[in-house]
């Protein structure tokens, strides 16, 4: 691999992201903040949900914000590059193996996901108001989780971006991403599905579950959550799966 070419492409993606900072910020914050305000502020203030729900909700919102940010940061440009701008053809001429072009996209998407998570924590905390009880007593676990979730988001984005076309973007959100969010334990712990034992087992095939439960275990351990070894095992396994699928699909698109 030509490190200079890799860093040059990464720097270019960084400059593009800086120019589009405000639209990207709004894109990554609006939907999560709406959920935070409605479920974490309106519902708790009205007494329809307990005050403690704020603390249970915040880790899930962080997870979903990072996952959506990283996924969109890679999937949308990938679809555009292959089908419209053809910019990918210039990147493929760089003095490096084809797979490293895809890896650069994953790295750029992961960085964007980490930034999104860092922005969401204080923003959501402010929206939720008083009564939020989260802990930063496990910083190393939190950092490891954030990195794994960020890479997972970008790897899923690479896989979807190289597998779907422009006309299928709506399908991606309605049939793939939407169900992954609502059955990803974002707004409730995995243990809440105990009354639906079959569904509880099926959702373990959803990588979003491990992201939400992981942040819940690190930031709000007072609530039920999956064990740490299950969370990290799931995240590592899904990272490997989507990274491999994404690279394979990218290579097929690039040389097809």
Each residue of 65-124: pLDDT tens digit? 899 889 988 888 888 777 666 666 666 666 667 788 888 889 999 998 998 888 888 888
Q: How many CA atoms lie within 13 A of 47 on its CB side?
A: 0
Length of the chain: 256
Following CA atoms 45, 48, 51, 54 in sequence, which dihedral angle do they give, to the nearest 10 degrees? -90
DSSP codes of every residue in 66-99 = HHHHHHHHHHHHHHHIIIII-HHHHHHTSSS-HH
pLDDT category at 200 given cuts 50, 70, 90 is very high
Supply the pLDDT for residue 86. Answer: 63
The predicted-structure confidence for 107-157, as pLDDT tens digits, reads as follows: 999 998 998 888 888 888 888 877 788 888 889 999 999 999 999 999 999
Closest CA to 117 of 219, 189, 15, 245: 219
Continuous segment of H or E residues that includes residue 102: helix 98-128
Rounded CA-CA distance 62/220 in Å is 12
User: Hey, what are 183's tokens?
Assistant: 């059955």
End-to-end CA distance of the chain: 22
How far lies 12's CA from each of 16, 18, 29, 162, 238, in Å? 6, 10, 24, 21, 28
User: Hey, what are 239's tokens?
Assistant: 């990272």
User: Hey, what are 58's tokens?
Assistant: 């915040």
On the question of pLDDT at 18 being above 80, the answer is no
pTM of the model: 0.90
CB 213 within 8 A of CB 190: yes
Longest dimension (CA), the chain: 61
Mean pLDDT of all residues belonging to the chain: 85
How far lies 235's CA from each of 87, 120, 146, in Å? 31, 21, 11
CB 6 within 8 A of CB 104: yes
Closest CA to 141 of 221, 70, 61, 58: 221
């Amino acid at each position: 691999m030509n490190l200079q070419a890799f860093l040059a492409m990464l720097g270019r993606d960084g400059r593009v992201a800086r120019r589009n900072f405000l639209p990207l910020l709004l894109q990554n914050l609006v939907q999560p903040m709406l959920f935070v305000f409605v479920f974490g502020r309106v519902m708790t203030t009205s007494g329809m949900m307990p005050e403690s729900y704020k603390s249970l909700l915040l880790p899930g919102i962080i997870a979903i914000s990072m996952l959506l940010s990283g996924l969109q940061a890679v999937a949308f440009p990938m679809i555009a590059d292959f089908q419209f701008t053809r910019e990918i053809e210039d990147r493929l001429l760089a003095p490096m193996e084809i797979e490293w072009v895809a890896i650069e996209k994953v790295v750029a998407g992961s960085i964007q996901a980490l930034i999104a998570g860092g922005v969401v924590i204080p923003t959501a905390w402010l929206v939720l108001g008083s009564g939020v009880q989260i802990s930063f007593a496990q910083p190393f676990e939190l950092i490891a989780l954030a990195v794994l979730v960020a890479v997972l988001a970008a790897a899923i984005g690479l896989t979807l971006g190289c597998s779907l076309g422009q006309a299928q973007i709506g399908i991606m959100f309605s049939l793939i991403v939407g169900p992954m969010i609502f059955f990803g334990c974002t707004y409730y712990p995995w243990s809440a599905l105990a009354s639906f034992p079959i569904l509880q087992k099926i959702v373990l095939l959803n990588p979003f579950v491990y992201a939400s439960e992981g942040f819940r275990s690190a930031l709000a351990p007072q609530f039920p959550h999956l064990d740490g070894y299950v969370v990290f095992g799931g995240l590592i396994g899904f990272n490997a799966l989507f990274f491999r699928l994404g690279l394979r699909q990218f290579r097929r698109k690039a040389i097809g």
